Amino acid sequence: MTASPIVTRFAPSPTGRLHVGNVRAALHNWMWAKKNGGHFILRIDDTDAARSEERFVDAIRADLAWLGLHPDREERQSARFERYDAVFEELRAAGRIYPAYESAQELDLKRKIARGRGLPPVYDRAALSLTAEDHARFEAEGTRPHWRFRLDHAAPITWDDLIRGPQSFDPAQLSDPVIRRADGSWLYLLPSAIDDVDMGVTHVVRGEDHVSNTALQLQMFDAMGAAHPRFAHEALLTGSEGKLSKRLGALGMNELRESGIEPAAIVSLLARLGTSDPVEPMVDPAPLVAAFDFAHFGRAPARFDEAELAQVNARVIHQLDYGVVADRLPAGMDAAGWEAVRPNLHTVAEAADWWHVVEGPIETVAAGEDADYLAQAAAAARAIDWAGDPWHALTNALKADTGRKGKALFLPLRRVLTGRDHGPDMAALLPLIGQARSIERLEAAARG
């Protein structure tokens, strides 16, 4: 008998841009599917028509594509309302869904009273005691009900979480969840469970803030007579300051992209955050996928540090081939130029600064006491063979003529030729600057 394929899903609501937290969940679902030769579904959870916007749907697709997380198919919850209505009626007929009429203010008062008595703020199921006359009265008053899923209190809700291990919830300590508002619109829980069944989802990777939702949804799967997916609840991301960071909720892919962060850097960092595996910069995600293992995840909060992302980004850039970045480089920069400056870059955009150093003009550096030395350097630059390794030919000639060595030999030349004290290897940079520009800069500095 052939085993069913692994199916995962990423189910964002199109009410805003993707940020690092939900991209991490998308990435881990994608990695698990790819590792097992399965399918990764993008499911747009757009049941909230008032808050969902098509521009955010487009942005979600674009961000996932930029990251290389290409879904095998896309689904829209807004296209499935008839299916949700059908399951709703089945569960209502089976006594698992019931109407309730309390206002938000009444429910808040009930919770406050329960807390004041030292009790958990669990819904008291008062709506189950309503008579036919009560329902008729509410209807006559024009009060429309919201709808709750009735939890079965007979046994604990248990599952073996792929990250957290064995989990157990007492359903009597949970409120019967509201699944549908009075205006007929849907909340998250039931449509998501229906979709997981209909779409054959086998595994769900999401944040640990959904653990109690999973307990509720497991009973929904049971009520539908359906098998449930395996769940993996990963620790939430925290900021570098060691507590939950509001900035993480606003750190969007568009912001990272505009700041020069490469998609491979984001994937490399988020793939390993929260695991025992070291973060490694990888242009090709295949090794990350191959090593992905829920057993490597820990329970401690996963620390996201923008400084670490910047470091990973630089190390990714140092691996990028010219062909990958050619369309983002300044006009005239060829493969030799890219390879010369690449080891000094933190972002690809910085290549333009170094290309300006090559092509000039650059600000003339005052020669000071090195004027005679730079005049000698200009003369040597005219005499050496530029067809081979002009930097070493130049410095070897100057070392022999002046006796200089080390910093005294190299630094005045670097300053005059590039306008900077540090930078790419001069052996790679000087051929790009070329003989004419090099002599011009040396002579201008020598003249003062």
- From residue 210, alpha-carbon distances to 175, 217, 286, 363 in Å are 15, 10, 29, 58
Residue whose entry in the numeric block shows the structure tokens 């300590």 = 173
Residues β-bridged to residue 237: 302
How many residues make up the chain in this entry? 448
Compute φ and ψ for 43, nearest 5 degrees.
Answer: -115, 115
Residue 24 and residue 32 in contact, taking contact as beta carbons nearer than 8 Å: no
Asked if 310 and 240 touch (Cβ cutoff 8 Å), the reply is no
> What whole-number distance in Å separates Cα of residue 160 and Cα of residue 169?
12
Say if CB 249 and CB 256 are below 8 A apart.
Answer: no
HSE (side-chain half, CA atoms, 13 Å) at 132: 0
Paired residues of 9 in beta bridges: 41
Buried b (16+ CB within 10 A) or exposed e, 308-322: ebbbbbbbbbeebee
Query: How far is the C-alpha of 367 from the C-alpha of 413, rounded, in Å?
Result: 10
Query: Is the bond preceding 156 in cis, omega lying within 30 degrees of 0?
Result: no
Give the burial class of 295: count Cβ atoms within 10 A of its Cβ; 0-12 exposed, 13-18 middle, 19 or more buried. exposed
**DSSP code of 186?**
B
Would you state the structure tokens that stand for residue 114, as one six-digit string? 């329960």
CB-count burial class (<10 Å; 0-12, 13-18, 19+) for 89: exposed
Q: Which of 279, 272, 221, 285 is nearest to 87 (CA)?
A: 221
Task: Enter the tokens of residue 315.
Answer: 């190390």
Q: Name the strand (E) or helix (H) holding 180.
A: strand 178-180
Helix (H, G, I), strand (E, B) or coil at 90: helix
Q: Tell me if 246 is assigned to a ligand binding site.
A: yes
Residues of the binding site: 246
Residues of the binding site for ATP: 246
